[in-house]
Chains A and B, each alone.
Chain A
Amino acid sequence: LAEYFNANWLPEGWSWAGYLLAALIHCGLLLMVVAVAAMFFIWLERKASGRIQDRLGPTRVGGRFGWLQSLADGIKLLTKEDLVPGKADSLLFRLAPYVAFAASFGAFLALPFSNGWVGAHLNIAVFFILAVLGLEIFGTILAGYASASKWSLYGAMREAAQVVSYEVPLGLCVIVPVMICGSMDLIQIANCQQGLFTNWLIFHDPFTFVVFWVYFACATASVNRAPFDLAEAESELVAGFHTEYSGFRWSIFFMAEYGSMFVVSGLAAILFFGGWNGPIPIASWLGLTYATGEDAWLLGSLLGPTMAGYLGSLLGLLIFLIKSILGVTLMIWARWTLPRLRIDQVITMCWKYCVPIASVAFVGVLFWQVLGIWSPNDLFSPQRPGQVREGWVTDAKEPGTTEDTSTGLRDAPVVAKGGSS
C-alpha cells in the first residue's frame, strides 16, 4: 500500500508520508472492525438472549429489530458521569481499560482476514496472538486491584487463577494445527486447508475433532465469557472487576471483550475450519485467483489476475467473517443457556479434563502424522498438509537427495544424526 502511494500519489522524498498513510489506513480499518464488531455483537447478544429467554429483545430503536440500540447505548455511555472512587489508585484505575483494549486490539494486527489480507504478516502469528491476548487479563487485574473494592479484587483474583490455568490447554490445542501444517503462519495454516471441506483440519482425524471442542471451551474461558465469567459473576460479585467503572471506561472493557471474542473465533476458523476457504472451492473453480498466464482461466482470464484475485480475496473475507460470527454466536448461545460454574469447577474442568484430553489428543495427532494413517484430508487434497513446511515443499525433491546448498535441516535423517549425538 505504501509503495502504491509513493509511486502514484506522492512527490519525491515523501516516502515517509506513504508509509504513515498506509499504517494509518491499516490501523483505522482494524479499529473499525473492532468497534463495529463490538456494536454488532452486543446487538446480536441482546436479540439472541431475548429469543432464548422467550422475549423479543430490543425492537424499537432504528425502526425495526432495534438495530440502532447499540449506538443509542453508546451515546448514553458517553454522557454518563465518569467516576473514580475516592480510595482508588487513580492512575492504574484510569489506565486499566486501555491496557485491556490495547491487548485485544494488538491481537487483531496479526489476524489475517483473507488470503494475504492482514495488518502485519508475521510468520509466528499464532504465537503472537496467544501472547498478546494473554495480556488482556492484565487490564482486568489492574482494574480489580486499583478499584479498592472487595468485589473488584475478588473478580480479578478469580480471573487470574482461571486464565493462568486455561492458557495451558489453550496452547496445547493450538499446537495441533501448527504441527499438522508445519507452520505458525496463520496464512499458511489456512492455505494448507484449501479445497473441499474435507481438507479442514477439524476433519483431519478424530483427535483434531476433539481438540477443536477443547480449544473452544478454553478460548471461552480465556476471554472470560459465561459459563466461565467468574470475574464478573453479577449474581455474586455485583459486576466483578468492573463494579466501580462507569461510562466510557466501562464501555472500553466491553469493546475489548467482544474484540477478543472475535479474535478467538477467527483463530478457531483459521486453525480448524479452513479460514477463508469455503466448504466448496467456488473461487478457484470460477478462476478468481491471482494466477497469471496459462494458469488463469474462466473469470481469471476475463478480468485479469489483479481484479480476479481481488474478488477471490473479497469472497474469502466474506467466508471468514461468516465463520467467525458463527463462532461468536456459539459463545452467545452458550452464555444464555448454561449456568455459571463455581471457581473450583472451573479449575477442575481445566486441570482434570481439558489438559489431559488436549495432551492425549496431541499425542494422538502426533502418531497419526508419524504413522501416516489415512485421513479425510487425503481425499481431494492436491498436497498433503504436512508437506507444506515454512515456505518449501518436500515432494518437489526425491526423498534420498536431501542435501541442499543451505544448512542441513531437512528430513528425519538429519534430526536423527543430531539426536544420537
Chain B
Amino acid sequence: VTILLATVNWHTFFFMLFALLACLFALGVLFSNNIVRMAFYLVVSLGALAGLQFLAGAHFVGAMQVMIYVGGTMVLLVFGVMLTAHAAFTEMKTRSGDWLLSIGLGIALLVLLVQTALRVETWQSPQISQEKVSPADAHTTTQIGLGLAGVRADRLDEDDPVRAAGMSGYLLAFELIAIHLLVVLVGAAFMARPRRLPRRDEVPRNEDERHDLTT
C-alpha cells in the first residue's frame, strides 16, 4: 500500500477528484426536477471548477469563479426562483422539444470542445522558464486588471500594427457582458412582475377585499 501511495501523483488525484465532482453535479443539474436542488448542484459544480483553478495556481481566476459564478447562481436562485415560484418546492418539467434542442446544442458544443482539446500538441503541465519571469511579474494580478480596464500591458511595446490592435484589451467584452447582465436583470424583473393588475371596473366592493388587494 505504501508503495502504491508513493507512486500516486497527488496533483492528478485532486484534479480527478474535483473534475469528477464537477461532472457528477453537472449531471445532477441535468436530471433533477427540483429547481432549488438544481441551483445547489450547480453551485457545487461551479465550486469544483474553482477548485480546479486553485489547483492550477490560478488563484485570481478561482476567486473570480467563486465570487461571480457561485455567488451569481445564489442571486439567480433568490430572484429567479423565489420571486417567480408561486408554490412551495416547484418542480420543473422539461418538454421533449427542449430536450431535443438542448441535446443538439450540447453535442455541437462538445464536438467543438473536443476538437480544440485534441489540437493541443503536448499534454503536459505548463513549464515556466525562470529566465522569462521577473520577480516583479510573478504572481501579479495587475495585468489582468489593466486588461479588463482596456490596457493590454503585454502588448504595449508591440510595433506590428496588426498585433498592437489587441491593445484595447478586454474592455469591449467586459462592457458587453455588463449590458447583457443588465438585460437579464430587466428581464427577470419583467418576469417576476404581478401577472395581472386589477382593472378599473374591478374596484373592490367592500373593505375586506380592498384590504386583501393592498396587502
Contacts and interface: CB of A to CB of B under 8 A. Distances in A.
Interface in B17-60: 34, 36-37, 40, 43, 59-60
Interface in B70-99: 70-71, 74-75, 77-78, 82, 88-89
B139 A131 contact: no
A392 B136 contact: yes
Contact of A132 (B59, B66, B75): B66
B36 A408 contact: no
B10 A391 contact: no
Nearest to A19: B10
B78 A184 contact: no
A407 B194 CA distance: 56
A418 interface: yes
A173 interface: no
**Residue from B3, B40, B62 whose CB has the most chain A CB atoms within 10 Å:** B40
A404 B134 contact: yes
B151 A131 contact: no
Given A135-B74, A421-B167, A409 B134 contact: no
If over half of B's interface residues share one DSSP class (helix, strand or loop), that class is named, otherwise mixed; here it is helix
B137 A16 contact: no
B153 interface: yes
**Residue from B10, B37, B59 whose CB has the most chain A CB atoms within 10 Å:** B59
A142 B142 contact: no
Contact of A123 (B8, B36, B40, B139): B139
B138 interface: yes
A413 to B, nearest CB: 10
A92 B134 contact: no
Nearest to A389: B142
Contacts of A15: 6
Interface in B133-182: 134-143, 146, 150-154, 156-157, 164, 167-168
Contacts of A95: 40
Contact of A408 (B5, B138, B156): B156
Contacts of B62: 128
Given A390-B136, A390-B140, A418-B156, A148 B88 contact: yes
Contacts of A209: none
Given A128-B63, A141-B78, A418-B153, 19 more contacts: A16-B5, A16-B6, A89-B89, A131-B66, A135-B70, A137-B74, A138-B43, A141-B77, A142-B36, A160-B82, A184-B141, A390-B142, A391-B138, A404-B134, A404-B136, A407-B154, A408-B153, A418-B156, A421-B167
Interface of A: 13-17, 19, 87, 89, 91-92, 95, 122-124, 127-128, 130-132, 134-135, 137-138, 141-142, 145-146, 148, 153, 157, 160, 164, 184, 390-392, 404-409, 414-415, 417-419, 421
30 contacts: A16-B5, A89-B37, A122-B59, A123-B59, A123-B141, A128-B59, A128-B62, A131-B71, A134-B67, A135-B71, A138-B74, A141-B78, A146-B36, A157-B78, A160-B82, A390-B136, A390-B140, A391-B139, A391-B140, A406-B134, A406-B137, A407-B137, A407-B143, A407-B153, A408-B157, A409-B136, A409-B143, A414-B156, A418-B156, A421-B164
Interface of B: 2-3, 5-6, 8, 10, 34, 36-37, 40, 43, 59-60, 62-64, 66-67, 70-71, 74-75, 77-78, 82, 88-89, 134-143, 146, 150-154, 156-157, 164, 167-168
